[in-house]
Structure 1
Amino acid sequence: MRAPDFWQRRRDWRSLLLSPAATAYGWAARCRARTAQPWTATVPVICIGNLVAGGAGKTPVALSIMAMLQRQGIAAHFLTRGHGGKLTGPVRVDPGAHGAADVGDEPLLLAEAAPTWVAGDRVAGARAAIAAGAKAIIMDDGFQNPSLAKNLSLIVVDGGYGFGNGLLLPAGPLRETVAEGLAHAQAVVLIGEDRTGAAAQVGNALPILRARLTPAPESDPGGTDLSGRRVLAFAGIGRPEKFFESLREAGAEIAESKPFPDHHPYGAAEIDAILQQARDAGLLPVTTRKDWVRLPPGRRDGIAVLDIALTWQDEAALTALLTGLFTAEQGDA
């Protein structure tokens, strides 16, 4: 789905109309959390979550933390629900055998970096990962899922979107109130320029780890330099505008842009039309890595990919959180 525009406005008649449903949603979520009996894993569980529906940048954060753990020699595995995939798991993702229709797009990206498990039942997924040798688990979602106890929870916030209009679904984008979310997390990761005052809303409740997304040096599978190129940009992510901004930062000139809903399943005819439009206008078609894995395999040739990298403003602060987590584990042992 694509987030409705009124989710970003404080006062809107549609939010008012939906406020009773939002109240019911919040009540149901709180009841679920209160009655849950979380299972505690035998290895540290790190949860990368967000408070709003749609993308905030969880996957780049999860990949960055995985790289940090790998540099420390910690054999961590990813655990995710696999949004958009038909397999409920637990199943270990095999990029050579699974497609986005099987496990979703994000698990395919995660599996390129480390063992990745898709499981609708997070406890079953965690058990499978531990049985396969995981010494830590990184959840790329599941912040509001109370079934599995977390040792460290990070709330990812898109600086350009913040917490939207501050209202619960469906009146706004929030899965739980900001105060409730902050109460069961250890830090906030604020990505990009804070254009909505999110940091002020967090206040002194939690440490804020600032980071930014930048175009990676290897911008696409073919190594295409996008600087100065006229492109037709398309993306089906939480906020396609973020991708378009990254393209401009990479020096590309966006002649045409096509936003799609998050996790959009591209059809062959749809991609053929995009490729034809790009050829007719002399443009280079370009998309995100997350979109690229959802393209029909026979329609990927000629489509460039802009890869991104996450840069931490103070990586030492994050390192301290992780070090404390594993130091505590060793002390308990």
Structure 2
Amino acid sequence: MKLNTPRWWYRRDRKHGTALRMLLTPAGWIWTAATKRRLAGGAWVNVGAPVISIGNLTVGGSGKTPVAMETLRLLRATGVEAHALSRGYGGRLEGPVRVDPATHSAGDVGDEPLMIATTAPAWVSRDRVAGARAAVAAGAEALVLDDAHQNPALKQALSLVVVDGETRDEEWPFGDGSVFPAGPMREPLKVGLARADAVIVLLPTDVAEVDPELMEEFGSLPVFVARLAPEGPPPEGPQVGFAGIAKPWKVERSLKAAGCDLADFAPFPDHAAYSGGELKALADRAAVFGAGLITTEKDWVRLPPEWRARVTSWPVRARFEDEAGFLRLIRSPV
């Protein structure tokens, strides 16, 4: 059973979730030790093509997938045959297999690879080394790895850490710094940043600039700012929104900021597999308001085919403020 992301994870003061945080802190110590041991014993295999890791320091909700898609777009626009590689979380296929949006479903390969495959070649493989070798054999000149900052299987030419830069409403991207399950961190902040080559701070379009205090966290690391912008306006008329991502409240906030007449919003756990009953309940709720249904592109690809015509997909894309500088960075190892 999947659970919604605890909102208190992202509060800097310990007044929120105090008892649970204390109870779960010893498990966080075990998680930290296991991550350190795994990284120390990594193989770091070189497969003959540069590997660019798009990762993060928290357990979800930073915006890795839009950044991976934009990284692929920029590389391919300059003539580099860049392919995506993912473990295919939520999919049943072990791989290596190249994702085909015409024949694969999210249940086969996972929602994120299926979404990426609409714009660039994408592979899924539980064994990252085998997947990387398959992609290189198929002509990949560079590999963009989704969610690999804590995975030591492949030698990485660049390790880029994506950070959610939204700090309003007393939220902080790293909470109070506690490691999962006591907080959102996959590893202590300074430990994770020490392996990074650069930081990408992702902002919504309605936030003017990065919090200076947040910028101080990154020390001397290069920082690139990207904005998560919708590809188009939301549909007219009232809508009932829903999302199964790590921070569903951000989708609700973004829809309202884009001018959506949001009658209601339903949060679900990350990577939620929507049942027929849940979708019918959403449709019934929308009928109460005379509204349509709207969700993220990532959620939309997980819907059963018969429901996709009934739900509006609202895609967003990451766009870099210093696109030329970011392109120089990702082209440097190619």
Q: Does 1:26 align with 2:41?
A: no
Distance 1:235 1:196, change over 3 A: farther
- Of the three residues 159, 182, 186, the one matched with 2:197 is 186
Structure 1 unaligned regions, length at least 5: 220-224, 327-333
Distance 1:5 1:250, change over 3 A: closer
Aligned equivalents of 2:137, 2:331: Cα separation in 1: 24
Question: 1:317 is matched with which residue?
Answer: 325
- Of the three residues 197, 201, 219, the one matched with 2:217 is 201
Question: 2:281 is matched with which residue?
Answer: 273
Q: What's the TM-score, normalizing by structure 1? A: 0.91
Which amino acid letter does the alignment assign opposite residue 214 of structure 2?
Answer: A
How far is 1:28 from its partner? 1.5
- Of the three residues 121, 124, 128, the one matched with 2:130 is 124
Q: Does 1:306 align with 2:314?
A: yes
Which amino acid letter does the alignment assign opposite residue 79 of structure 1?
Answer: L
Which amino acid letter does the alignment assign opposite residue 122 of structure 1?
Answer: R
1:106-117 equivalences in 2 (<5 Å) = 106-117=112-123
Q: Does 1:4 align with 2:6?
A: yes
- Of the three residues 215, 239, 248, the one matched with 1:240 is 248
Q: Matched residues, percent identical?
A: 44
- Asked whether the 8 Å contact 1:163–1:198 carries over to 2, the reply is no
Q: Does 1:174 align with 2:185?
A: yes
How far is 1:280 from its partner? 2.7
Q: CA offsets, 1:218-267, max 9 Å, x none?
A: x5xxxxx525x211011111111221222123211211000111100001
Aligned equivalents of 2:159, 2:241: Cα separation in 1: 34
Q: Which range moves more in the overlay, 89-98 or 61-70?
A: 89-98
Q: Does 1:75 align with 2:57?
A: no
How far is 1:93 from its partner? 0.9
Aligned equivalents of 1:124, 1:316: Cα separation in 2: 33
Q: CA offsets, 1:70-108, max 9 Å, x none?
A: 111111110001111111211111111111111111111
Which amino acid letter does the alignment assign opposite residue 264 of structure 2?
Answer: E
How far is 1:307 from its partner? 1.3
Aligned equivalents of 1:282, 1:197: Cα separation in 2: 44
Secondary structure in structure 1 of the residue aligned to 2:306: helix
- Asked whether the 8 Å contact 2:75–2:327 carries over to 1, the reply is no
Aligned equivalents of 2:243, 2:249: Cα separation in 1: 9
Which amino acid letter does the alignment assign opposite residue 71 of structure 1?
Answer: A
Q: Does 1:151 align with 2:157?
A: yes
- Asked whether the 8 Å contact 2:75–2:331 carries over to 1, the reply is no
How far is 1:195 from its partner? 5.8
Structure 2 unaligned regions, length at least 5: 167-171
Q: Which range moves more in the overlay, 36-45 or 190-199?
A: 190-199
Secondary structure in structure 2 of the residue aligned to 1:286: strand
Which amino acid letter does the alignment assign opposite residue 229 of structure 2?
Answer: T
Q: CA offsets, 1:133-160, max 9 Å, x none?
A: 1111001112101011110111001112
- Asked whether the 8 Å contact 1:272–1:299 carries over to 2, the reply is no
Question: 2:272 is matched with which residue?
Answer: 264
- Asked whether the 8 Å contact 1:84–1:103 carries over to 2, the reply is yes
- Asked whether the 8 Å contact 1:215–1:249 carries over to 2, the reply is no
How far is 1:278 from its partner? 1.0
